[in-house]
């Protein structure tokens, strides 16, 4: 955490890009992080929060999510932001799969979700 104060504004910045594909036969839903994406300087809480959000958004759908990009800011990001992004992305991917449509980038509060 930065020594900078967050003031009265809740942190709202985060950006993620994920790919979704069906899980293998008999495999549960899962989240994997591309090795080039997640670096030690990232807050591990963001990784756990993003994973929780994706799994919650998938519900009973069995899919594998691969995180391709994560952008965060030391003072303007938080665990709830990444949990929210994961949930939105997974729900969008699940809905596209159910409708048979291609996913499009989502923007939530100025955050683009791919």
> Using an 8 Å Cβ cutoff, are 23 and 66 in contact?
no
For the CA atoms of 33, 34, 38, 39, the dihedral, rounded to the nearest 10 degrees, stands at 140
**Tens digits of per-residue pLDDT, 77-90?**
889 999 999 999 99
Q: Whose CA is closest to 103, among 32, 14, 21?
A: 21
Kindly give the pairing relationship between strand 111-113 and strand 106-108.
antiparallel
Instruction: Give the number of other CB atoms < 10 A from CB of residue 20.
Output: 22
33 or 112, which is more confident: 33
Q: Please give the Cα distance from 46 to 14 (Å, whole number).
A: 10
**DSSP letter at 91?**
H
The per-residue pLDDT for range 44-88, each reduced to its tens digit, is 788 899 999 999 999 989 999 999 888 888 888 889 999 999 999
SS3 content of the chain, % helix, strand, coil (to 5): 30, 25, 45
Beta strand ranges found along the chain (DSSP E):
15-22, 30-33, 63-71, 106-108, 111-113
pLDDT tens for 8-37 read 677 788 888 899 999 989 999 999 988 777
| pTM, rounded to two decimals | 0.79
């Amino acid at each position: 955490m930065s020594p900078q104060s967050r003031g009265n504004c809740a942190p709202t910045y985060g950006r993620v890009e994920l790919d979704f594909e069906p899980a293998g036969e008999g495999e549960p839903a899962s989240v994997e992080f591309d090795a080039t994406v997640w670096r030690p300087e990232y807050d591990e809480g963001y990784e756990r929060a993003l994973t929780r959000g994706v799994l919650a958004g998938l519900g009973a759908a069995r899919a594998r999510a691969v995180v391709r990009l994560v952008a965060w800011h030391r003072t303007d990001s938080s665990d709830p932001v990444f949990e929210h992004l994961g949930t939105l992305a997974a729900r969008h991917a699940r809905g596209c799969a159910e409708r048979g449509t291609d996913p499009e980038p989502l923007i939530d509060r100025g955050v683009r979700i791919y």
